[in-house]
Amino acid sequence: MLRQILEITVLNIRNLPARFGSSSVVVVGIGGVVGVLVAILAMGKGFESAMSRAGAPDRAIVLRGGSSGELSSFMDTNAMNIVASLPEVTGASGELFLIQDVPKRSNLSPANLAIRGVSEAAFEMHPEVRVVEGRPFEPGKAEMIAGRKAAIEFQGVDLGATMQFRQSAWTVVGFFEADGSAYESEVWVDLATAQSAFRRPGVSSMRVRLESADVVDAVARRVEEDPRLDLELRSEEDYYSEQSEALTALITNFGYAVAAIMAIGAVFAALNTMYTAVSARSVEIATLRALGFSGLPVVVSVVIEAVALAMFGGVIGAAVAYIGFNGWTVSTLAGGSFSQIAFDFAVTTDLLVLGFVWAVTLGVVGGLFPAVRAARLPIVTALRGE
């Protein structure tokens, strides 16, 4: 049986170049599905990863009670000090979070640029933030360092350039990287300078470093129960995954929906091709069966052919998605911070595997019906080629 399958399959594959045009339909059709699926999911993955990288397990964020994000949160120095002095807290950084309208480079349309006012403590809190070009800002001066992504997305964020905000002008003195996290979409300035320039006393939020990731819940409860505080503390990881959840789900579902609809079209294409392939060789297949080959090897060999083409298509689609989209930067308005978050498409290994699985599945579906029909067709009917 296995030899029969093998022989017919070899016969089929040898036949492939003669049917180049129609075979390429399967390859391109399924390649298209896989490419689009992988590319869209890579976008969701990229966003999710930019957000999740902003969080560290032993870091927590403190916001005013009920706030949906840093933008709607604020707290005074007194509250800050109370949290900072909690026994499990080993470090604290009060940060002012603002947004300003700055035109994007892509369409010159104003978009919300995130500005974070930070003190020296923030750099200890976020060791992933490293100035890679230029120099850090000097405390007390209207200077800023810009995240790599902010520099890519926004107009005027150039080294040495001055950016005009409300009644204040800031000089870009350096660029920083932060492991590809959402922080790279922000510009950082000196906290005290920002507080006076933007006339904002206090801070928006606080980052605290904890003894260990295990004490988050305990500290959160302590903050919540403290009658002097109207604050909420949660782990940074939870915070960022909450912030990215809805959009990631939307992108992912969108990707699956589009790919599923495309897959229907690709299956039609594959069916078409395989029906044609089968009917073009109906005489051949009928002859084989007359020679004593049973129906099953015919079915299996046709399916194998379809799957082989589909796999080829899947590889091409995934490759195109990888070459074309991996690392491509786009940006969107993130919910909680109401600011632009730029992120890179992340074509990960599991996405490539997923695309490949889709390809094989579509190949099986596209090959099975024509195969069964080929095996069942009475020889006389097969000869008519209808």
Partner 1 sequence: MSSVGLVWSNLFRKKVRTVLTVLSVLVAFVLFTMLRAVAVAFDSGGFGPAGVDRLQVAPKFSIIDPLLVSQMREVERVPGVDAVTHADWFGGVYQDGRNFFPKFPVSPKSYFDIYSEFTIDPEQLEAFQNTRTGAVAPAGLAARFGWQVGDKIPIEGDIYAKKDGSRLWEFDLVGTYLHGDRRDETGGGVFLFHYDYFDEAREFGQGAVGWLIVRVEEPERAAEIASEIDALFENSTNPTRTATEDEAQREFARQQGDIGLMTTGILAAVFFTILLLTGNTMAQSLRERIPELAVLKTFGFTDGRVALLVLAEAVLLCLVGGALGVGLGTATMVAIEPGLQQFLGLIEVTWDVVASAIGIALLLGLVVGSVPALAARRLAIVDALRAR
Binding residues vs partner 1 (CB under 8 A):
21-22, 24-25, 28-29, 32, 35-36, 39-40, 65-68, 71-72, 98-101, 104, 106-107, 109-112, 165-166, 230, 246, 250, 258, 261-262, 264-266, 268-269, 271-273, 275-276, 330-333, 338, 340, 386
Shortest reach from residue 354's CB to partner 1, in Å = 17
Which candidate, 108, 102, 101, 188, places its Cα nearest to that of 143? 188
User: With respect to partner 1, which residue has the nearer C-beta, 47 or 293?
Assistant: 47
Residue type (1 letter), 159 = L
Tokens of 118: 């930070």
**Nearer to partner 1 among residue 13 and residue 28 (C-beta):** 28
CA 322/CA 351 separation, integer angstroms: 10
Q: Tell me the C-alpha distance between 11 and 278, whole Å.
A: 13
Q: How far is the CB of 359 from partner 1 (least distance, A)?
A: 14
Question: Considering beta carbons, is residue 43 or 92 the nearer one to partner 1?
Answer: 43
Shortest distance, position 339 Cβ to partner 1, whole Å: 9
- Please identify, using beta-carbon distances, which residue of 4 and 68 lies nearer to partner 1: 68
Q: C-beta of 1: minimal distance to partner 1 in Å?
A: 30
CB of 245 to partner 1, least distance (A): 10
The residue (of 165 and 175) whose beta carbon lies closer to partner 1 is: 165
Query: What is the C-alpha to C-alpha distance for residues 9 and 152, in angstroms, rounded to an integer?
Result: 52
Long-range contacts of 15-21 (CB under 8 A, 24+ apart): 15/281, 16/305, 19/277, 19/280
Query: CB burial class (10 A; 0-12, 13-18, 19+) of residue 278?
Result: buried
Strands 89-103 and 231-235: unpaired
